[in-house]
Structure 1
Amino acid sequence: MTTLTVDNPYTGDVACTVPLADEATVNTVLDQARAAARAARATSLAQRKDWCERMVAAMEAKADAIATDISRMMGKPLAQARGEIRGMAERARYMISIADTALADVVLPPKAGFERRIIKEPLGVVVDLPAWNYPLLTAVNVVVPAVLAGNAVVVKHSPRSPLCGEHFARAFVEAGAPPHLVQAMHCDHPTSERVVGDARVDHVVFTGSVYGGQRLTLASAARFRHMGLELGGNDPAYVAPDCDFDKTVENVVDGAIYNAGQSCCAVERVYVHRSLYKRFTEACDALVRGYVLGDPMSDKTTLGPIAQPNHPLELEQLVEDARGKGARVVVGGKRTQVDGKGRFFEATLLTDLDDSMQVMRQESFGPLLPIAPVDSDEEALERMNKSELGLTASVWTKDRERAARFATQLEFGTVYMNRCDSVDPALPWIGVKNSGRGHSLSALGFDQLTRPKSIHFRLSF
């Protein structure tokens, strides 16, 4: 039997070992999912809501164990991992609360002698490939609405966080859901590509890199299947002259450094109006220096290790590229360890950047805060849009009209005013350009997990 071993990014010890599915196992899982999908289709929405609510309660009851698994597998500080469980429950319960309305038939206006409706049918088998950085949130965005819509789900979690898929599958069993309604499966990348192209799979959702999304899209192309893709961002923030200064500094720094910057919607580049530039960078300096690196299990730790083994070097190369092109490294910029342990990267403040620097043009996925001065709203808007990625953007201002002007012209799925790095389950989560396609969450999220069917009945001749 082939296995996957995940290391602990702080201790270097084995965090977990899981079996990788061979061809026979894949066939069994997909056949079971097909049978479960047929069974789920025949159940009531009330029953599916009950399973999902009980699933959430089961995971909440094991919150400490799940949070510990997350910290061991990907290095997130334990307090933040506990917070992710709360966020998972909030998203799940919101989707449960709107399911009756979102999945209801669309009844067309009366037409003499006819009945006309649009019903929303489940797709069948949904394969979900969540990301490791928020292993519960990226999974729940798909798992719960898919089940509510009457689908079966196979969770093929990231090889950095495989135990999280198992937590969802076990919680549905504990909730009394039918066997195999939600299954966890571990497999290598070539097997994943074969799975998404399998005729037994009706829909695929992937959260990860642009390259991964391209590979999976090619693998499923022959099936004429729509895929949901959330592929990250290079998310900009604009600090306008009239911002609420102290709150803006605090939120922008947190938006860049939280979870060691390993967030698809982290603040990746900041454009500050020149009238505030010196004061803003000085204020950021003090906060960036305040992060505490250390054991993710310690409540004192506010910056955990980097999850992926090769990434600290990649972050250092981004910093050196910027330095070589004239940027100033005010704080941090290097790989490090704590008491001889861990693959850490220092919380880093970079100033005097321009858009030729790699750190301003690609997703860094690390605790980097690059800041550049701009002379006007127009310059900020132009530079914010100068990206192949388009997930989120934020505008920091007291002027709602300014934010509204930016929102109409920014080429991003979500535009924030005075917040960042946040997901509201009542709003659809959308990527444009190379940040993906499709959307999750909100009432619109159910549209990706159902297909419309037209009911066109002539009632009398």
Structure 2
Amino acid sequence: MTLLTVDNPYTGDVACSVKLADEAAIDTVLEQARSAARAARATPLSERKAWCERMVAAMEARADAIATDISRMMGKPLSQARGEIRGMAERARYMISIADASLADIVLPPKQGFERRIVKEPLGVVLDLPAWNYPLLTAVNVVVPAVLAGNAVVVKHSPRSPLCGEHFARAFSEAGAPPHLVQALHCDHPTSERLVGDRRVDHVVFTGSVYGGQRLVQAAATRFLHMGLELGGNDPAYVAADCDFDKTVENVVDGAMYNAGQSCCAVERVYVHRSLYKRFTEACEALVRGYVLGDPMNDKTSLGPIAQPNHPAELERLVDDARGKGARVVVGGKRTQVDGRGRFFEATLVADLNPSMRLMQQESFGPILPLSPVDSDEEALELMNRSELGLTASVWTKDRERAARFATRLECGTVYMNRCDSVDPALPWIGVKNSGRGHSLSALGFDQLTRPKSIHFRLSF
């Protein structure tokens, strides 16, 4: 028996251990999923909605235990982990609320002697590969709409947060869903890649790194496989001269630091109009210095440890690269501990960056706020688009028309005005360029979890 052991990034103790599946166990899971998919397909949507409603209630009833598991496994402050449970429930209930309309047949205009409809059929077995940074949100984006659409789901969660897959599976079982409708599977990365090539898997959704997405696409090269990829970001913000200054500072800093910056849509590049640049930098410095590093279980902690063991050193190298190319490290920039414990990275503010610096080119996934001055909207727009990643971008201005001009030309999946680092389940979540393909959430989120079938009946000759 091979165990996966996850360490607690604050204490260094064992957070959990789970058994990794061998080939026989994987075969069993996939065969059970196929049977469950047939049962779900034959079940009315009203019952599938009821399973999902009861699943959410079961997760909420266990909220404290789930939040504690998240904090132990990946270091998110407990208050933020509790907030993630609320966000998970909001997304699930929204998708339930639109399921009838979103999954209904599309009836074409009458044609004499014919019946013409487009039916949205389930795919079968969906393999969901969620990320550890938001282990409930990245999972629910797939699990609930997949079940609503009549699929079975195998959740192979990140090896940093394996218990979250088990929480979903347990909650669906308690909800009275068919046996094995949602199953948790634990395996290593090479096995995940082999699963992508298994013909019992009808669709794959991966949330994670660009590198991970590339590996999975290569693993599926011999199959015409449905695959959704929700990958990384190096998300820019533009602070225009007419912004609401205080609110912009507060929100941009939070957008970079929340969850220790371990968010695909965190603010990672900030272009500030030169007329505000010095004042904006000073205002950000005051807030960045206010973050409290410490025990994630302590309500006073606002910046938890870094989840992955090697990442603090990687973050330090990114800051050193910027410093070596002329940037000014205003606050932080170093890995650290709190009372001799944990793998932390200081809340960091770096000013005077330029496009040659790695912080402006790649996803940092850490609590780093990089600032760069610009002289015009056009300069900001050109720099914001200078990236191989395209997840979100934000424009901070009182001028709705300015934001609209940026929205037309920004090369990304979501454009915000006066907000950032936020997901509305009524809007599709989309990445362009190397930030992914496909989409989740909203009425469009059901599209990649179903296939259209044309109904073309001649009723009379």
The one-letter amino acid paired with 2:236 is P
Counterpart in the other structure of 1:57: 57
Counterpart in the other structure of 1:310: 310
The one-letter amino acid paired with 2:12 is G
Give, in angstroms, the shift of residue 221 of structure 1: 1.9
Counterpart in the other structure of 2:347: 347
Q: Return 5+ residue gaps in structure 2 as ranges.
A: none
Helix, strand or coil at the partner of 1:301: coil
Helix, strand or coil at the partner of 1:88: helix
- 1:83-94 alignment, distance < 5 Å: 83-94=83-94
Give the paired residue count. Answer: 461
Counterpart in the other structure of 1:116: 116
Counterpart in the other structure of 2:245: 245
- 1:52-451 alignment, distance < 5 Å: 52-451=52-451
The one-letter amino acid paired with 2:110 is P
Q: Distance in 1 between matches of 2:436 and 2:310?
A: 24
Q: Distance in 1 between matches of 2:327 and 2:372?
A: 9
Helix, strand or coil at the partner of 2:236: strand
The one-letter amino acid paired with 2:440 is S
Deviations 1:2-56 (A, max 9, x none): 0100000000000000000110011000000001001110000000000000000
Give, in angstroms, the shift of residue 232 of structure 1: 1.1
Q: Distance in 2 between matches of 1:153 and 1:196?
A: 14
Give, in angstroms, the shift of residue 324 of structure 1: 0.3
TM-score (norm 1): 1.00
Q: Distance in 2 between matches of 1:335 and 1:151?
A: 44
Q: Distance in 2 between matches of 1:436 and 1:156?
A: 19
Q: CA RMSD in A?
A: 0.3
Helix, strand or coil at the partner of 1:323: helix
Residue 7 of structure 2 corresponds to residue 20 of structure 1? no
Q: Return 5+ residue gaps in structure 1 as ranges.
A: none
Q: Please say which of residues 234-243 and 220-229 is displaced more in the overlay.
A: 220-229
Q: Distance in 1 between matches of 2:25 and 2:435?
A: 32
Helix, strand or coil at the partner of 1:221: coil
Q: Distance in 1 between matches of 2:39 and 2:196?
A: 22
Deviations 1:181-219 (A, max 9, x none): 000000001110111110000000000011100111111
Q: Distance in 2 between matches of 1:180 and 1:196?
A: 19
Helix, strand or coil at the partner of 1:256: helix
Identical amino acids, percent of aligned pairs: 89
The one-letter amino acid paired with 1:109 is P
Q: Distance in 2 between matches of 1:382 and 1:169?
A: 46
Helix, strand or coil at the partner of 2:295: coil
Q: Distance in 2 between matches of 1:355 and 1:251?
A: 24
Give, in angstroms, the shift of residue 220 of structure 1: 1.3
Q: Distance in 1 between matches of 2:454 and 2:94?
A: 28
Q: Distance in 2 between matches of 1:294 and 1:444?
A: 40
Give, in angstroms, the shift of residue 226 of structure 1: 2.1
The one-letter amino acid paired with 1:434 is N
Give, in angstroms, the shift of residue 294 of structure 1: 0.2
Q: Distance in 2 between matches of 1:106 and 1:222?
A: 33
The one-letter amino acid paired with 2:51 is W
